[in-house]
Amino acid sequence: MPPAPPPSAPPPTPTTALVLTGGGARAAYQVGVLRAIRVLRREAGAVQSGNPFPILCGTSAGAINASALAAGSDHFDSAVRRLTRVWSHIHAERVYRADGWSAVRAGTRWVSLLSLGWALTQWRQVRPRSLLDNAPLGQLLRTHVPLERIPQMLAAGHLRGLSVAASSYARGEHVTFYQSNAAAAPWSRAQRRAVPTQISVEHLLASSAIPFIFPAQQIDAEGRSGWYGDGSMRQVAPISPAIHLGADRILVIGAGRANEPPDAAPPSAPAYPSLAQVAGHSLSSIFLDTLSADIERTQRINHTLSLIPPAARTHSSLRPIELLVISPSERLDSLAAQYVADLPPSVRALLGVLGVQPGDARSGALASYLLFEPGYTRALMQLGWEDTFRQQAEVCQFFGWPDPARPTRATLAPRATPCAPSP
């Protein structure tokens, strides 16, 4: 009688990546989602399974959140608690200079340049670099994001890879800076490329340098120095770095509503858009539009691969990617408009010149990126918390966790109550 065949080995656990998009203060929404995932993970008894996101990819403010998680990847729960504390108590002056003199000086320089630019072209010292000075953000990052721990996390196996996106002003291309413990070769595509390096505070400042709002950051890369801005610019494939770093399944946390429906029909004679509306619309185009397109592209590739026999698929480098997207269920423009009055008076006055008014959802888009105040960030965290539990079954299925039959206590959090910091 032939011997019984050996038992088949269980299938390997898929490598999971987390992709965090940009959006300035909107990134607080991501922390609310992460808090909910932390609770679901604990309820499912999966805490001992290690870091749920061995691959972390971030852009702009999402790069800051991703780097904080990477630095604390040996204890996911603690890393999320630290992010919660920072975002729950943040104020604008911890991100950019919000005192009256700084705001007035920046505004005056812009007005002078626009009105007398023909006479000032040789006066380099009066050329403003940005509307706001984000020097305080550098200190915040050095205090709360211990990037020096990342090599240790990679060596210990808690982390497989971290990527941070930026945009090169000199070369006009999108650059992905990454650290990895695997032999992930740099990749290059049309107008975008990847550069292996050790992620620093300068990379995070560059990735989050919202155009015109915050100054560009100088970075030394591949033996040359250059100026870099927000990673959301020219980012045509935000999901791509996670795939190149080896992800089999990807959780994407967006900063805008997916497939957002248009507003109600405007009045027959709508008012001319203010500068705030134009600026907000432009920033939304930079931060939000490419993600939806890349998600659709990934889903189309998955569908195409499902039609190809497995044997034929072995001759292709393409592979199916399991994808889960969590994005705001409400318009963040309207939410931000409710908190414009929380901005420091000098910043509120500066934005008021552009047309930002408290309670005006039409001008709320611009404010939604700059409202680093606890009222707004806690409301965003609460929304992320609720949206995740609305997708509880999908989240548990994505991770392979048992879906609790009873309602999780987190689902009972009232909408009106801001998300309090975790203990």
pLDDT in tens, 303-358: 777 777 777 766 667 777 889 999 999 999 999 999 999 999 888 888 887 788 88
Q: Give the DSSP per-residue string, 359-403.
A: T-GGGHHHHHHH--SHHHHHHHHHHHHHHHHHTHHHHHHHHTPPP
Higher pLDDT, 59 or 268: 59
pLDDT value, residue 418: 38
pLDDT value, residue 202: 97
pLDDT value, residue 415: 42
For residue 266, CA distances in Å to 110, 175, 277, 333 come to 32, 39, 14, 17
Higher pLDDT, 69 or 364: 69
* 268 pLDDT higher than 50: yes
Q: In a 3-state reduction of DSSP, which class is residue 101?
A: helix
pLDDT value, residue 150: 97
Binning pLDDT at 50, 70 and 90, where does residue 259 land? low
pLDDT in tens, 84-104: 999 999 999 999 987 655 555
Binning pLDDT at 50, 70 and 90, where does residue 360 land? confident
pLDDT value, residue 100: 54
* 264 pLDDT higher than 70: no
Q: 214's torsion region: left (phi>0), alpha (psi -120 to 50) or beta? A: beta
- Beta carbons within 10 angstroms of residue 409's beta carbon: 10
Binning pLDDT at 50, 70 and 90, where does residue 421 land? very low
pLDDT in tens, 126-148: 566 778 899 999 999 999 999 99
pLDDT in tens, 397-413: 999 999 875 555 444 44
pLDDT value, residue 319: 76
For residue 352, CA distances in Å to 97, 132, 215, 272, 363 come to 17, 15, 21, 16, 10
pLDDT value, residue 114: 46
Mean pLDDT, the chain, as a whole number? 83
* 38 pLDDT higher than 90: yes
| Tokens standing for residue 48 | 């001992």
Higher pLDDT, 64 or 119: 64
Mean pLDDT of 151-162: 96
Binning pLDDT at 50, 70 and 90, where does residue 272 land? confident
For residue 25, CA distances in Å to 31, 203, 340 come to 11, 18, 13
Binning pLDDT at 50, 70 and 90, where does residue 163 land? very high
* 160 pLDDT higher than 70: yes
Of 63, 291, 233, nearest to 164 by C-alpha is 63
Binning pLDDT at 50, 70 and 90, where does residue 9 land? low
CA–CA gap between residue 155 and residue 153 (Å, rounded): 6
pLDDT value, residue 98: 77
* 20 pLDDT higher than 90: yes
- Percent share of the chain, pLDDT over 70: 80
- Percent share of the chain, pLDDT over 90: 49
Of 149, 6, 9, nearest to 67 by C-alpha is 149
| Dihedral angle over CA of 261, 266, 270, 275, nearest 10 | -20
Binning pLDDT at 50, 70 and 90, where does residue 107 land? low
pLDDT in tens, 220-237: 987 888 999 998 888 878
Binning pLDDT at 50, 70 and 90, where does residue 280 land? confident
Mean pLDDT of 5-28: 81
CA–CA gap between residue 246 and residue 17 (Å, rounded): 9
Find out whether 280 and 351 touch, Cβ atoms under 8 Å. Answer: no
* 110 pLDDT higher than 50: no
